[in-house]
């Protein structure tokens, strides 16, 4: 598989052009599946050439990192691990907490669960408004000097916050939702990332499964599947938003591809500094996702596609109000 570099071309992080989002292996996508089977899925991803595996302390909490750590233990020299912290976790709540002592404690815990002596890319999962981002950057600087993390990033941060953080300790990547049905970062965020040579790791590139064309208004979501609470996954919203899937279906026919492959190849075609991280619990889907890297769009095709999808009104917010308030800080 081809590689891409997140961050500065001379000192950035080189990874496969498609990564793997590990969250859904045992968290927020219904009841957890067999652990051994999910470890096999990760091994299948490695076999296809994927080198970036993304997890987080809060997924579970903790259990996703443990699963990823076990799966990657014998392959550590082949892969890069990204994880996220910045929460104070209790049995009932996840409070934002980016104080230095909290971050350091989180990193130490992640290192143990991931069975590694360093984290390739460590993100602040959500910006804590109570802690100046400059102080957070200094904590990251300290952790880099100690060799516990090699690169750092932010997740769902504003352009201003990105600039302020980068001035203190250069960021390698921003992790943000980005897909054909969520393009808001194109206006303010992507220009800043390009200016500062910061990569973008695009989570939910398949719209949490919606852009695969496998879901419709009659879809039901099991307990522990967070899509039950997301405004875009009400029956009404999914029915209205089928128009974007129909457009992808038509494109897929012209490229002899699947709708999911078109959604991923569209992201890859935007900028070479963007890496999508689709997740799956099915090894065959990994092969499908990786094959998206072979689909090529001409500049004219991309211009037409972007014009057309810009005309499609997307119904429903991506997060409930409480979660929405934690993004874009």
Q: So which residues are the catalytic ones? A: 59
Dist. CA 44–CA 288, nearest whole Å: 12
Q: How far is CA 105 from CA 43, 57, 97, 100, in A?
A: 29, 11, 11, 8
Show the tokens assigned to 114.
Answer: 């991931």
* Residue 168 exposed, middle or buried by CB count within 10 Å (0-12, 13-18, 19+): middle
Compute the distance between CA of residue 19 and CA of residue 311 in angstroms, rounded to an integer.
29
Tokens of 281: 């619990």
Q: Is the peptide bond before 61 cis (omega within 30 degrees of 0)?
A: yes
Q: Are 18 and 264 in contact (CB under 8 A)?
A: yes
- What does the alpha-carbon distance between residue 88 and residue 279 come to, in Å, rounded to a whole number? 26
SS3 276: strand
End-to-end CA distance of the chain: 35
Cα separation, 278 vs 243, in Å, equals: 22
Give the contacts of 7 (CB within 8 A, at least 6 positions apart): 13, 151, 170, 171, 172, 173, 197, 198, 199
Q: How many CB atoms lie within 10 A of CB 220?
A: 9
Contact at 8 Å (CB) between 45 and 20? yes
| Residue 90: strand, helix, or coil | coil
């Amino acid at each position: 598989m081809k590689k891409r570099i997140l961050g500065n071309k001379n000192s950035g992080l080189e990874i496969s052009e498609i990564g793997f989002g590990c969250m859904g292996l045992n968290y927020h996508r219904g009841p957890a599946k067999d652990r051994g089977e999910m470890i096999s899925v990760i091994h299948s991803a490695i076999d296809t050439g994927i080198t970036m595996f993304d997890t987080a302390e809060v997924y579970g909490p903790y259990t996703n990192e443990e699963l990823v750590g076990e799966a990657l233990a014998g392959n550590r020299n082949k892969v890069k691990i990204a994880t996220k912290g910045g929460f104070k976790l209790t049995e009932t709540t996840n409070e934002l907490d980016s104080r230095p002592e909290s971050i350091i404690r989180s990193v130490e815990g992640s290192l143990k669960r991931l069975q590694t002596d360093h984290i390739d890319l460590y993100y602040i999962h959500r910006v804590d408004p109570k802690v100046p981002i400059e102080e957070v950057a200094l904590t990251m600087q300290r952790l880099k000097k100690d060799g516990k993390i090699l690169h750092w990033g932010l997740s769902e941060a504003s352009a201003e916050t990105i600039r302020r953080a980068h001035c203190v300790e250069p960021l390698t990547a921003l992790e943000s939702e980005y897909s054909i049905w969520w393009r808001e970062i194109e206006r303010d965020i992507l220009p800043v990332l390009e200016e500062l040579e910061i990569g973008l790791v695009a989570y939910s590139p398949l719209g949490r499964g919606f852009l695969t064309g496998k879901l419709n208004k009659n879809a039901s979501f099991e307990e522990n599947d967070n899509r039950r609470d997301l405004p875009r996954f009400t029956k009404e919203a999914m029915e209205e938003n089928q128009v974007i899937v129909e457009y992808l279906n038509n494109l897929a026919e012209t490229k002899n591809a699947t709708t999911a492959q078109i959604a991923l190849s569209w992201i890859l075609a935007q900028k070479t500094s963007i890496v999508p991280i689709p997740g799956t619990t099915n090894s065959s889907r990994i092969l499908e996702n990786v094959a998206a890297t072979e689909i090529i769009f001409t500049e004219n095709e991309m211009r037409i596609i972007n014009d057309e999808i810009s005309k499609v009104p997307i119904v429903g917010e991506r997060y409930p109000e409480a979660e929405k308030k934690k993004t874009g800080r």
